[in-house]
Chains A and B, each alone.
Chain A
Amino acid sequence: MAYTVVFVEDEEIVRREIVSSIRWEALGLALVGTAGDGAEGERLIKELEPDIVITDIRLPAQDGLAMLASCPVNHALILTGYTDFTYMKQAIRLGVFDYLLKPVDDDELEEALASLVQKIQEEDRDVEQIKRDHKSSDLSITLPKHFNNHVIDSAVSYIVDHFSESVGLQEAATYLGVSESHLSRLFKEITGLNFLQYLNAYRVNQSVEAMEDPKKNIAEIATSCGFPTPGYYAKIFKRFLGKTPTQFRDTLGSPK
């Protein structure tokens, strides 16, 4: 199954060119929608829930980064003429996969998309692996906690202690005093899971526990479990447990 892509770009010629030039099928992608401004982009993303969003930053109505922050976006690529430092920092915080500068070399864009596809596939394998041990009746994802490796055990306890904050691989690596790439490689090797997937799975588990408090709404739960946006939380949740948090909560409430 091809991964879905939404492309947001305000210049019509550029939009047309990218749509026609990129060999989507060959990359295992399906372009499901294009938008000319930030508001339309947001509506489209919420409707289509694409796997990948490609967007410019300077857009009418709402800029690309604000749009990404308010939607349940898993993976994003930025195409922009701007090398502004604050934009780049914001993009990194939003977990943007790559930041390509205009004029965009189409070959480079294809390369970036190819490596993103590869990454998504890896993540899917992780999720599948997790799902394999998981029956639909289970209320949480089974995550091993001990791996007989000092660094990974420390990384796991870092996740346990800091999941509610806005942290990721970079913060964990800094905290443990190892390089990001080393931690990433070692984590995958020892646990069989991607660090980020482990972190997200742990966060999802914590959110399930938090749902038991009827006074908390989904947005509050998302924030308290370290998800940057409720949309992103919903997306991740669905990937792991097959339902959106709201649906999940409904089924949780009725039998009791």
Chain B
Amino acid sequence: MAERNRTLFGRLLIYFLIVLLLPILVFTGYYLVLGDKSQSRYLAEQSLGVVRRDALIVGNVLEEYRHKAYQLSTDELIVEVMRRDDPEYVNKVSHDLYPLLFRVMSGDAYLASANLVSNSGRVRLSTHAFPNIFDLRYHTSTSDLNSVIAQNLNLSQTASLITTRGHRSAENGRQVVASILRRIYDSEGKNLGYLVIDLFGEAFSSGINIERLFSDIYLIDQKEFHATSLVHTDTHGSFDKFPPLLALKGDYSARAVQSGSTVIAVAPVASTNLYLAGTLSTVFLSQNISRWYLVISGILIGGVALAMIFSFLFSRSIAAPIASLARRMDRVDRTNLEAKPIKSTISEFAQLENSYNVMIDQITTLLDVTREEQKKLSEAERKALESQMNPHFLFNTLNTIKALARINNQEEIYTITVKLGKLLRSTIDNHESEATLADSIALIDSYLTIQKLRFGEKLKTSVYLDPACEHIKTPKLIIQPLVENAIIHGLEPKVGSWFLAVRVEALGRKIHIRVEDNGVGFDRKTLPADLNDLADTTHVGVYNVYRRLSMAYQRELEFTIESTPTKGTIVDIKIPIGRR
């Protein structure tokens, strides 16, 4: 049993720790177990959104330049220049021709260049330096794959070719990321030459990845299995060059894929064969998460420490007053009673301590009173013992006196000794609270025998006990004090003959006890109306009898005293026959 007894403090500490640590543990657990994945998923979604938006931007850029390409390729002046195929004519109209070109190209010389070449290669126009690669005079084979124009064979008659195949460094040093090619036709539909708009990296890169989410972003030409980085625009080539792209496994539908520590999001660029893909490294993310873990661990440790501190403080604030109370009670156990000032600031505890102090005060008072009483009692006992004589000695001595009287024929001494012995037996040596009426009358008999020996012929007595009452028990010593009273106060002061009668008889359901004398009597006025007030008068002996009888019989007792001065006194007592 004992080993299961934990302290209140310990128990509270555990409870508070549980309550305070639980949320921390749940929160950390969630992040430790699910944080990584949810972070990745969130990142993938984010990437996809960004890549979709960027694909739209790329699409718009391409659409814009496709439209410009269309505008230029159908412009009358340009068609005329191409049809004539004469450099002289170019010079002649140059002050119309170049403004046209620049107007259409919006002067974005750093974003794109527009290049025109006639089939013969004699007319070559460019918003920048004309790229040699487009100089058809030097094209020996249509299979020169590096030339955008070489690809036109697969192109439908009117459509624009958008390709990334022609990636190169432009003469101004910029990277040509994509090219838009259109054929120029005369009114009969004869192919006169080509228009190529070269788009520099900046045409795209300025509008995309503005959040810097992606570490790299690729423009993918699915048809050509060629990709170009829009971040590092000089990096391009087949997919092998871009390992992350392999993770897509040829599926370019809009989605985000995680491969190893890389997330790649891909989205198609509308109405082209192109796709835009953004990659980002989760290594960075992992680092981020690691840092996040660090923060969480910090919070965790801090939280646990705080929880412990608070648990300790809370527990102590509750347990300390109880413990202090318990210690004090323990001290009380070792009979050291002392009240102490109230310390706890919690009202219930303060109340408890207050009650406890009150209790201690009361106990202390009670103990003092008890000690005092005990002292008085033992004092009384000591005095009683000092005043007490061994009754056996008394009785044995009386017996010896009796024997001596008998041997010496002193009949009166013999009688008085035997009767006194009986009298003392029923008073001193009787520890019963009740006596039968026969015993009570025998006692009266002994008493009167002695008194008659003292007073001789002067005292006449009559004692009658109804045989029906012999075995009825009453409180002992109720008649004898009345008889003694009658002799001492009634008869002794009187000159002349004395008569005393005691009569006990059953009358109906009552026992009637009468003690009557023909003594001096007393004034009726000395008797109070209520017998309970006898205590304050000189009739203490009568009062004691009355009090004991009224305790025994309560309302069923009838007790009357009749006295006439010079005539005598009658005390009448009526008590019920049945058991109380």
B139 within 8 A of A: no
Number of A-B residue pairs having CB atoms within 8 Å of each other in the complex? 52
A14 in contact (CB, < 8 A): yes
Give residues of chain B (384-433) contacting chain A, Cβ–Cβ below 8 Å: 392, 395-396, 398-404, 406-407, 417-418, 421-422, 425, 429
* Interfacial residues of chain A within 79-122, with CB under 8 A of chain B in the complex: 81-83, 101-106
CB-CB contacts of B275-318 with A at 8 A, as 1s and 0s? 00000000000000000000000000000000000000000000
Task: Chain A residues near B418: list those with CB within 8 A.
Answer: 103-105
Q: Contact partner of B406 among A81, A83, A101, A106, CB < 8 A? A: A106
Q: Is A17 an interface residue (CB 8 A)?
A: yes
- A103-B407 in contact given A13-B400, A81-B395, A82-B392 (Cβ < 8 Å): no
Give the distance in Å from the alpha carbon of A125 to the alpha carbon of B421 in the complex: 38
Chain A nearest CB: distance from B119 CB in Å? 151
Q: In the complex, how many angstroms separate the beta carbon of A186 from the nearest chain B beta carbon?
A: 23
Structural contact, B406 and A17, CB atoms closer than 8 A: yes
The yes or no answer to A16 lying at the interface (CB within 8 A) is yes
Instruction: List the A side residues contacting B395 at CB < 8 Å.
Output: 81, 101-103
Give min CB distance, A199 to chain B, whole Å. 30
Give the chain A neighbours of B398 by CB distance below 8 A.
102-103
State in angstroms the CA–CA spacing of A17 and B408 once bound together. 10
| Cβ of A21 under 8 Å from chain B | yes
Would you call B399 and A102 a contact (CB within 8 A)? yes
Counting chain A residues whose Cβ lies within 8 A of the other chain, the interface size class is: 10 to 19
Whether B407 pairs with A11 at a CB distance below 8 angstroms is no
Chain B hits for A104, CB < 8 A: 399, 402, 418
A136 within 8 A of B: no
The residue from A17, A81, A82, A102 contacting B407, defined by CB atoms under 8 A apart: A17
- In whole angstroms, how far apart are the Cα atoms of A18 and B404 in the complex? 11
Q: Are B402 and A103 in contact (CB under 8 A)?
A: yes
User: Which of the residues A14, A16, A20, A21 comes within 8 Å of B399, measured between beta carbons?
Assistant: A14
Interface size on B, residues (CB 8 A): 18
**Pair B400/A14 contact, Cβ less than 8 Å:** yes
For A20, the chain B residues whose CB sits under 8 A away are 406-407
How close is B392's CB to chain A, nearest CB, in angstroms? 5
Min CB distance A56 to B, Å, is: 9
Task: Select B392's contact among A16, A18, A81, A105, beta carbons within 8 Å.
Answer: A81
Please, how many angstroms separate the alpha-carbon atoms of A61 and B400 in the complex? 21
**Contact of A101 with B425 at beta-carbon distance under 8 Å, contacts A14-B399, A81-B392, A82-B392 already known:** yes
Are A13 and B407 neighbours in the complex by a CB distance under 8 Å? yes
Interface string of A1-34 (1 = CB under 8 A from B): 0000000000101101110110000000000000
CA–CA, A21 and B414, complex, Å: 12
B399 contacts across to A, CB distance below 8 A? 11, 14, 81, 102-104
Q: Is A11 within 8 A of B406, CB to CB?
A: no
What's the Cα separation between A2 and B209 when bound, in Å? 149
Instruction: For B425, list chain A residues within 8 Å (CB).
Output: 83, 101
Q: Contacting B403 at CB < 8 Å: which of A13, A81, A83, A101?
A: A13
Closest Cβ of chain A to B443, distance in Å, is: 14
A18 to B407, CA, bound (A): 9
Cα distance A228–B417 when bound, in Å?
38
Closest to A21 in B: B406
Contact assessment for A16 and B403 in the assembled complex, using a CB-CB cutoff below 8 Å? yes
Across the interface, B400 reaches (CB within 8 A) one of A11, A21, A82, A101, namely A11
A16 to chain B, nearest CB (A): 6
Bound Cα distance from A13 to B395, whole angstroms: 15
* Interchain CB contact under 8 A, A103 and B406: no
What residues of A have a CB within 8 angstroms of the CB of B417 in the complex? 103
| A16 pairs with B407, CB closer than 8 A | yes
Name the CB-closest residue of B to A15: B403
- Tell me which residues across on chain B come within 8 A of A101, comparing CB atoms: 395, 421, 425
B428 shortest CB reach to chain A, Å: 10
B392 contacts A17, C-beta separation under 8 Å: no
A21 to B399, CA, bound (A): 14
Contacts A11-B400, A83-B429, A105-B418 known; 11 new A-B pairs at CB < 8 A: A11-B403, A13-B400, A13-B404, A16-B407, A17-B402, A17-B403, A81-B399, A101-B421, A102-B399, A104-B418, A105-B421
| Chain B residues at the A interface, C-beta cutoff of 8 Å | 392, 395-396, 398-404, 406-407, 417-418, 421-422, 425, 429
The 6 closest A-B pairs by CB, nearest first: A17-B403, A103-B421, A102-B399, A103-B399, A81-B395, A103-B398
- List 29 A-B pairs, Cβ < 8 Å: A11-B396, A11-B399, A13-B400, A13-B403, A13-B404, A13-B407, A14-B403, A16-B407, A17-B402, A17-B403, A17-B404, A17-B406, A18-B403, A81-B392, A81-B395, A81-B399, A83-B429, A101-B395, A101-B421, A101-B425, A102-B395, A102-B398, A103-B398, A103-B401, A103-B417, A103-B421, A104-B399, A104-B402, A104-B418
